[in-house]
Structure 1
Amino acid sequence: MIDGKLFDKLEYIARTLRKNNYPFGGIQLVLSGDFCQLPPVPDKSAAGAQIPACFAFDSKTWPQCVGDPIVLKKVFRQKDQKFVDMLNAMRFGKMDAQTTLSFRKLSRPVQYDDGIEPTELYPTRNEVDSANTARLAKLAGQPKDYPAKDSPGRDEHGNPFPFERVERALRDMVAPKKLPLKVGAQVMLIKNIIQGLLVNGSIGKVVGFYKPRDAVAMGAQIALPELAQGVQNNPAVEPMGTQEREQQKEQREQKLKKLLAMNTVWPAVQFANGPLMLCVPLSFESMNADGGIEAVREQVPLILAWALSIHKSQGQTLERVRVDLNRIFEKGQAYVALSRATRLEALQVLNFDPAKVRAHPRVLEWMAEHDSKVPDAPDGQVSNRHDVDIDEDLELWQDIL
């Protein structure tokens, strides 16, 4: 989703700062992504006019910085080949009658026995906020608010960054500045806790608010990230040293001891995949270009999850999904939404319209240059490399960010 103009700026900055005329100042680049998903968000000029967004591969410096891409073929999120084939048809904007019929059959309601509903995906942030606020208001009682604790990072001299810089760094942080919760609220975990079981994207329901020691007494676990033991089994990553692991273990035990002495109540969440967890505040860091910490937000690692924006769902894996495609407006948007699901059985699709399943012709053109299996642009369209097509409904992007 990096805009081509931004890519050029970053390349120039890297060359200038490093005083090195090699592309990107000699920095090795590793880029990954899927251009068939949502395109870069367009910017505005000083006068307020929309500036056409261009893809990273259409930047002026891309040819000097990046060689031929490696096309990854294996799908991990979905195991059902039929579902994979249906999503690939959406990805390239090539919908035949059979695939369209298969998607329309998904309009049927899906029933769940544990009371945890599917996450609804909407095109705009306003729709998401309205849906979550309305559902929270229907629950009995007053919401319990959890304000975030924000703190600045420090510069090379040890001085804290100014307030304005910290606010800017935390503006798009996934952890909210204020989190209102009630018993019965449907929530999503936004931090990896237990590898393969409780991860970013896990859905659950708030069942109560408890002090840590009371939660442990009733059989709940404290949601602290597990030690990075999975890394040791990865031959591509250097194993964690014994001393470093012992330090992490000691820090974790000290934090747990402090939590058990606290009188503050935190939300206990029953997750769909089993465990009852007391969710306590965790750290979310905003990093700067030098790899330093710009700002830190401590917040309960949850967000309301009756609804989520398609834009924010990119990269998420959702076990239960409901999507209404009625207000889809951008190329790649329908594909992103439906490809968050893992199984057809847990996916409900309303108002499916194959006319709204569109792939960007410039993306298809670029991909065809590097992979012969990619279909041609629909209807023979070929967009100019440096004149990227703008959707007439593009102003709706302003509702998303």
Structure 2
Amino acid sequence: MYYGLSAFRQKEPILINAVNELCNGDFLKSLDRPFEAHVQDQEVTRLFGTNFDASVVNQDMLEEIPGEMFHFKARDEGDTTLLRKCIAPKHLVLKVGAKVILIKNISKDLCNGKQGIVHYLEKDTPPVINFDGNLVPLSDVKFDVYDMQQEKTLACRTQIPVILAFALTVHRAQGQTLNLVEVDCYSFIAPGRMGVAVGRATTTSGLRIINFNRKAAFTRHSDIVYDFYDREFSDFSTDLVCCQKQQVYPSVPDYQDSNVTLDTEPSTSSFDLRDMEHDHQLEEPQLQSPWDINEFIIENQSSTFMNDFLPDFC
């Protein structure tokens, strides 16, 4: 089965195989070991399945950096309830030396997903970020909630367009090339997520996998996804008749009453659970979070970043 995918980050054959197939469980499990002694914690990017886990680790890593914290509060307009899922946080807390990632396209060279290091901070002054040796003062920008049917903006948040990047969700890390990455699989349920996470690494020495479970690796997309990749595509006709033909796709299971979360991330796995031996027992996903939410809220209730979480958990 061919999916039109090729490895361009990885050079090691065993890692390329792991990315493409995710079938070598013993190899992936062997990557649950510490990085080399010279690697600093702040050099490693940690990947998680949920925003909450990434936020907790980012806050912990930020507190370990010496120096003063600077708080940037967003300005909200319109129906603020629509901004609760805005990628730009209501309260952004930074320190000099913190790892950050852009969350909006600013220019041709400063695009969504570009990582940098906070270089300089001063009260009431835009933060200066070091992007690959270029020191860039970042002014705040608008994040709009736009309704296409009403053709108007319903809400707007104005904030510095970065978030902390010591830890990221797999979704946020798509497209990234990471030299040092730790993948925590415990909350991976959606198909393809494991492949996307492992595919961020460039070498086996720069990849660590923890809480590995086979079901997270081998969970398949719906057959319609694989059928799409297997299709033969021809060039577009000049009159676009090809686009007007009705395509008949295989039926998709009804997940309306299911707890399964569908995900649109492309999978690099060609492994079929149906091909496995019946006597082979899969490990169930380890879904229990290492964080106790009540203890976390009590310990951090005085922190400004908790203003983003408390409405959701209280």
TM over 0.5: yes
Which of 38, 48, 59 is 1:133 aligned to? 59
Q: Residue 378 of structure 1 corresponds to which residue in structure 2?
A: 273
Contact 1:103 1:349 (C-alpha < 8 Å) held by counterparts: no
Of the three residues 47, 54, 72, the one matched with 1:121 is: 47
In 1, Cα distance between the equivalents of 2:12 and 2:107?
A: 28
Aligned residues: 244
1:1-400 alignment to 2 at 5 Å?
A: 73-75=4-6, 78=9, 80=11, 82=13, 83-90=15-22, 95-96=23-24, 100-101=26-27, 104-105=30-31, 107=33, 109=35, 117-152=43-78, 166-195=79-108, 197-210=109-122, 264-271=124-131, 273-290=132-149, 292-310=152-170, 312-313=171-172, 315-325=174-184, 327-330=186-189, 331-341=191-201, 343-344=202-203, 347-351=206-210, 353=212, 355-361=214-220, 363=222, 365-370=223-228, 375=270, 377-380=272-275
Shift in Å at residue 192 of structure 1?
Answer: 2.4
Question: CA offset at residue 205 of structure 1?
Answer: 1.8
How far apart in 2 are the matches of 1:125 and 1:86? 26
Would the aligned equivalents of 1:184 and 1:206 in 2 still touch at CA under 8 Å? yes
Q: CA deviation at 1:281?
A: 0.7
SS at match of 1:266: coil
Q: Which residue of 2 aligns with 1:42?
A: none
Q: Measure, in 2, the Cα distance between the counterparts of 1:173 and 1:338.
A: 27
SS at match of 1:270: strand
Amino acid at match of 1:117: E
Measure the CA separation in 2 of the matches of 1:277 and 1:309. 25
Counterparts of 2:84 and 2:74, CA distance in 1: 13
More helix by share: 1
Range moving further from structure 2, 365-374 or 173-182: 365-374
Q: Structure 1 residues 72, 314: closer, same or farther in 2, change over 3 A?
A: farther
Cα distance between partner residues in 1 of 2:156 and 2:75: 8
> CA 1:395–1:285 in structure 2 vs 1: closer, same or farther (change >3 Å)?
farther
**RMSD of aligned alpha carbons:** 3.9
Structure 1: which 5+ runs fail to align?
1-70, 153-165, 212-263, 382-390
Could you tell me which amino acid in structure 1 is paired with residue 115 of structure 2? I
CA distance in 2, matches of 1:77, 1:137: 36
Identity %: 23
TM-score, structure 2 normalization: 0.62
Maintained 8 Å contact 2:186/2:286: no
Q: Deviations over 1:190-232 (max 9, x none)?
A: 122343x432222222121259xxxxxxxxxxxxxxxxxxxxx
Distance change (3 Å), C-alpha of 1:85 and 1:192: farther
Amino acid in structure 1 at the alignment position of 2:113:
G
Output one character per residue of 1:313-367: Cα deviation in whole Å (capped at 9) or x when no partner.
Answer: 25342434422435244143322322334x226842133736244333462x334
Q: Are the structure 2 counterparts of residues 112 and 308 from structure 1 closer, same or farther at C-alpha, using a change threshold of 3 Å?
A: farther
CA distance in 2, matches of 1:183, 1:376: 44
Shift in CA distance, 284/345, structure 1 to aligned 2, threshold 3 Å? farther
The residue identity in structure 1 corresponding to 2:102 is: L
Q: Which amino acid aligns with 1:169?
A: L
Q: Secondary structure at the match of 1:327?
A: coil
1:107-166 per-residue CA deviation (whole Å, 9 max, x = no partner) reads 4626889996232112333322221222222233442110111223xxxxxxxxxxxxx2
**Could you say which residue in structure 2 is the equivalent of 1:227?**
none
Query: What CA distance in whole angstroms lies between the structure 1 residues aligned with 2:135 and 2:38?
Result: 18
**Structure 1 residues 140, 376: closer, same or farther in 2, change over 3 A?**
closer
**Distance in 1, Cα, partners of 2:8 & 2:99:** 23
Taking a change above 3 Å as real, the CA distance of residues 297 and 89 of structure 1, as seen in their structure-2 partners, is same
User: What secondary structure does 1:280 align onto?
Assistant: coil
Give the partner amino acid of 1:124.
Answer: T
TM-score by length of structure 1 reads 0.50
Distance change (3 Å), C-alpha of 1:362 and 1:308: closer
